[in-house]
Amino acid sequence: MEKIEKWGLFEVSDTGIATGNPFTDCEITGIFTGPDESVQVRGFYYGDGVYKVRFMPSYEGKYSYEISGNYKSGSDEVTLKGEFEVTAPSDGNHGSVRVKGTHLAYEDGSPYYSIGTTCYAWVLQGEERRAETFETLKENVFNKIRFCIFPKHYLYNLTEPCRYPYEKGNGEGLVKDPKGPMFPPVEKYPIMGFNYYKPNPDHFKLFDDVIEKLCKMGIEADIIIFHPYDRWGFAAMDKDADDLYLKYVVARYAAYRNVWWSFANEYDLMSNKEIADWERYAEIVCKEDPYNHLRGIHHCTKPYDSSRPWITHLSSQRVDLYRHVEYTDHLIEKFGKPVVWDEIAYEGNIGMGWGNISGQELTRRFWEAFLRGGYAGHGETFEGHNDVLWWSHGGKLYGESPERFKFLLKILKETPGTGNLVYKPGMFDETIAEAEGAPGYTLHYFGFGRPSSRTLFMDPAKKYEVELIDTWNMTIEKLGTFGGMDTVPMPGREYMALRLKEV
């Protein structure tokens, strides 16, 4: 009997009809029954006459399955039955990331500290660049990566992708009157026609490979389903094509435990779509995904209504030049959901304001976000490397902030109690976080302030060990034991924090 670990991917393959359009003409469905669950999932056409059904078991023990559909002969029939055994999860397999109050945690209860990065089009850059990107990810601390399924047309993203998501059609295409942020103007490029009802299997096989490798590395795949930066017509498909695409993507990738659904990057720039469209997309994904993966929608200037029940967490972008992550605790209070800052400007030197902040500033924003109870994401946009920018192409990293994120994660993992930090009001020039479930543990962060000392107001009946954390130079120094209203010496440098532990 075949064995698969809990929260692993079990796959059933069969051959069937390869003529006509198997993506629209044929259906395949699987019912998987185990000790404590019975789950029905949609299968998909894999290409070359092969159909697949994928399933992620949530319990240990013996499972059975039954595959049916019209994919064999055009008539509905039960075609395959079988059994398999689900074993205990292996080391590093903690299940999918779930919402736990206003924080995130793995399904087995382990805390999850989202330190994400953005590489919009890296999957479509070619084999050599993908391999280089994986090597960079191995060397760094990122445990989430955002990327698009559709290719991207924008600054620094003007070459054709290595694969297209659809078969080429009659050459007429849909991009005749482009709307949205086309830069440079799309008229400079030839119009390509695509059949939006016949996905290109080779394109989607790339994402199979990438998501599986990321899963083995413990990295969440934050899949961007739609985006406005397009010259091929993928942002302007009709309703039926959009719905077919959504069902196909969910059927193909939902059984990977490390998947998140990001409905859009900057949804509000997609002028051909209305709120009713996004709500329909959400209804489809919620229905088609039996595993209830995390769901968010990213904005440019107009945040989506995050109180909508299908939204599991906020996928936020800065909308103010000076204040952004500083709103984290307010957003948590307003919506009662986790806040993930997926775009807070990128470390780099390009001519755009969203891509030229320093490593110090990006690191500061990370500390602010985490101490206010949220999470933050990285990006890098350095010119001078043959127009290869990590933010879109992947490749190598050249900035200073990623090494500091390793240090931050070390601090976060030392949080007692539930492992989560919650914002606590303090002096106007500091950000204070308290360990949830362990109030004797606090962090005081001073950002760009440079105090030479700090008077702390502590419980006079208790004593606290105080440590000085240099978040930029990545050092921890013990300052001694203090209590009551006591003054702690500090070095008068930026990016300092104090950590208090009740003795």
Tell me the percentage of the chain whose pLDDT exceeds 70: 95
- Averaged pLDDT of the chain: 94
Average pLDDT, stretch 490-500? Answer: 98
**Domain coordinates of the chain in residue numbers?**
2-87, 97-413, 421-502
Tokens of 110: 């382990």
pLDDT at 387 over 50: yes
pLDDT at 395 over 70: yes
How far apart are the C-alpha atoms of 83 and 66, rounded to whole Å?
9
pTM of the predicted model as reported, rounded to 2 decimal places? 0.95
pLDDT at 177 over 60: no
Domains 2-87 and 421-502 share a fold: yes
- What lies within 8 Å, CB to CB, of 392 at 6+ separation is 119, 120, 121, 122, 152, 154, 156, 157
498 residue type, one letter: L
Judged by phi (left if over 0) then psi (alpha if -120 to 50, else beta), residue 101 lies in left
SS3 257: coil
Mean pLDDT lowest among 228-242, 281-295, 306-320? 228-242
Task: For the domain covering 97-413, report its CATH number.
Answer: 3.20.20.80
Q: Roughly how many angstroms between the first and final C-alpha of the chain, as a whole number?
A: 54
Q: What is the reported pLDDT for 158? A: 86
Tokens of 155: 């600054």
Mean pLDDT lowest among 46-55, 185-194, 248-257? 185-194
CB 32 within 8 A of CB 58: no
pLDDT at 346 over 90: yes
Q: What is the reported pLDDT for 190? A: 55
DSSP state of 157: B
The verdict on whether omega for the bond into residue 184 sits within 30 degrees of 0, i.e. cis, is yes
- Range 344-347, long-range pairs (CB < 8 A, 24+ positions): 344/317, 344/318, 344/369, 344/376, 344/377, 345/318, 345/379, 346/118, 346/378, 346/379, 346/380, 346/381, 346/391, 347/378, 347/379, 347/380, 347/381, 347/382, 347/399, 347/400, 347/401
Q: Quick one: which of 7, 58, 59, 46 has its CA closest to 258?
A: 7
Task: For the domain covering 421-502, report its CATH number.
Answer: 2.60.40.3950
For 63-80, the pLDDT digits (tens) are 999 999 999 988 888 889
Average pLDDT, stretch 21-34? Answer: 97
Backbone angles phi, psi at 285, to 5 degrees: -65, -45
Task: Compute how many other C-beta atoms are within 10 angstroms of the C-beta atom of residue 171.
Answer: 10
CATH superfamily of the 2-87 domain:
Immunoglobulins (2.60.40.10)
- Range 132-136, long-range pairs (CB < 8 A, 24+ positions): 132/394, 132/395, 132/396, 133/394, 133/395, 134/213, 134/217, 136/390, 136/394, 136/395, 136/396, 136/397
How far apart are the C-alpha atoms of 470 and 29, rounded to whole Å?
55
Q: What is the reported pLDDT for 73? A: 86
Helices (H), 140-238: 201-216
For 454-473, the pLDDT digits (tens) are 999 999 999 999 999 999 99
Tokens of 274: 């209305």
Q: What is the reported pLDDT for 51? A: 97
CB 430 within 8 A of CB 486: no
How far apart are the C-alpha atoms of 343 and 353, rounded to whole Å?
12
Q: Quick one: which of 378, 316, 153, 118 has its CA closest to 224?
A: 118
